[in-house]
Amino acid sequence: MKRKVLSLALMSTALVTSAYAQDATLTIESWRNDDLALWQEKIIPAFEAANPGIKVVFSPSAPAEYNAVLNSKLEAGSAGDLITCRPFDASLALYEAGHLTDLSDLDAMDNFSDVAKSAWQTDDGSASFCVPMASVIHGFIYNKDAFNELGLEVPTTEAEFFEVLEKIKEDGTYIPMAMGTNDQWEAATMGYNNIGPNYWKGEEGRLALIRGEQKLTDSQWVAPFATLAKWADYLGDGYEAQTYPDSQNLFTLGRAAIYPAGSWEIAGFNTQADFEMGAFKPPVQNAGDTCYISDHTDIGIGLNAASENQEAARTFLAWVASPEFASIFGNAVPGFFPLSNTPVELEDPLAKEIVGWRDECESTIRSTYQILSRGTPNLENETWGASVAAIKGTESPEALGKKLQDGLASWYAPHQ
């Protein structure tokens, strides 16, 4: 009799759960507006096919506006159920404010290494608040047709890099490099933190900066600004007013030969460019030097603590942590490299080329993302402005390093 009652109780619970799930519609907040079609056509249908009671809506904001828009929605109680997470401090702040749920008890979190999870954990590792999704790798994407036409070899050293830029400029057919400074973040993300790791030796320098053992006035942190200053001659007329979409269009329309890139561009470029593309690593200073790449833990996804669909959202997050999602996402959004422990066979040739750099170079992450941007002034945002100033030549590299160091030292104890 007891077994029968228990059986009926379990059936009742299952029916309630099923009825609840059938009413659940999950909304995902994200900055990846370029991926809207991919989520709608590939990722969401795969999940909904396996979970017919749950509907998913991907609702992205413009990348530069995402943080402000998301914070406003969270404060107003209108944010979606699932929050796409930037790495380290930005998401940690959301967790500490009570906006993200601790997911440490989600069994599927075991599918990720400690390194992958570290971008979305408390400093002591006691709480994990976002499921890791992917990293992105920085370098340069180039127009193979343009290189072949001009007889150019892929550069491996900085001297060769500037020789290539000069030849493209002298020919006049193409803008040597497509990047503007209007939106600022590109100058830091695809500029300073792209080439910088070769100067400060990746994790060695980044961690030394966090510990206070190196300063932003040290030569290895100032030198990348001096290199960026040399870029101005090759960015084309009007680069100062050129927006991020402008730069994307200049490259995909075949008007520029090189694009300082993050691997997240691959999916969009594949649909827009009608020429063959290749990629090369950030050039080293001298032939034979160890190369360093920014292999940045870039994107995770967490659960809005105020969501009314907690159970359905956790079902979705468990699926995001699965090998099935890793394979779908890694190939649906080439250039976002899955972080799960299960190896993923990538199909896109450009994505395969870029992820192959992991076997050739030492990996690091962007220098400003962990700990160093928690105070005011925010080092990440200050680095945007400093990188722009370096390119425009409005301030010397040494003055920029001092400004950043003074700002960091004003609030960060290890630098006081």
The pTM assigned to this predicted structure is: 0.84
Across 231-306, the runs of DSSP E, i.e. the strands, are 256-262, 277-280, 292-303
Summarised one tens digit per residue, pLDDT across range 333-351 is 899 999 988 889 999 999 9
Residue 369: CB atoms within 10 A of its CB come to 21
Phi, psi of 356 (to 5 degrees): -65, -20
Would you state the structure tokens that stand for residue 155, as one six-digit string?
């550069």
Residues of the chain with pLDDT under 70: 1-22
Encode 297-306: b = buried (16+ Cβ within 10 Å), e = exposed: bbbbbbbbbe
**What pLDDT does residue 22 have?**
53
Whether residue 317 contacts residue 44, with contact meaning beta carbons closer than 8 Å, is answered with no
Whether residue 205 contacts residue 214, with contact meaning beta carbons closer than 8 Å, is answered with yes
Residues 6+ apart with CB under 8 A from 368: 188, 193, 379, 380, 383
Q: Give Cα separations from 372 to 24, 91, 206, 216 (angstroms).
A: 39, 14, 10, 12
Would you state the structure tokens that stand for residue 212, as one six-digit string?
């206070």
**What pLDDT does residue 23 have?**
81
Q: Give Cα separations from 310 to 54, 92, 127, 302 (angstroms).
A: 12, 20, 18, 11
Specify which residues 54 forms β-bridges with: 24
Give the helix, strand, coil percentages of the chain, each rounded to 5: 50, 15, 30
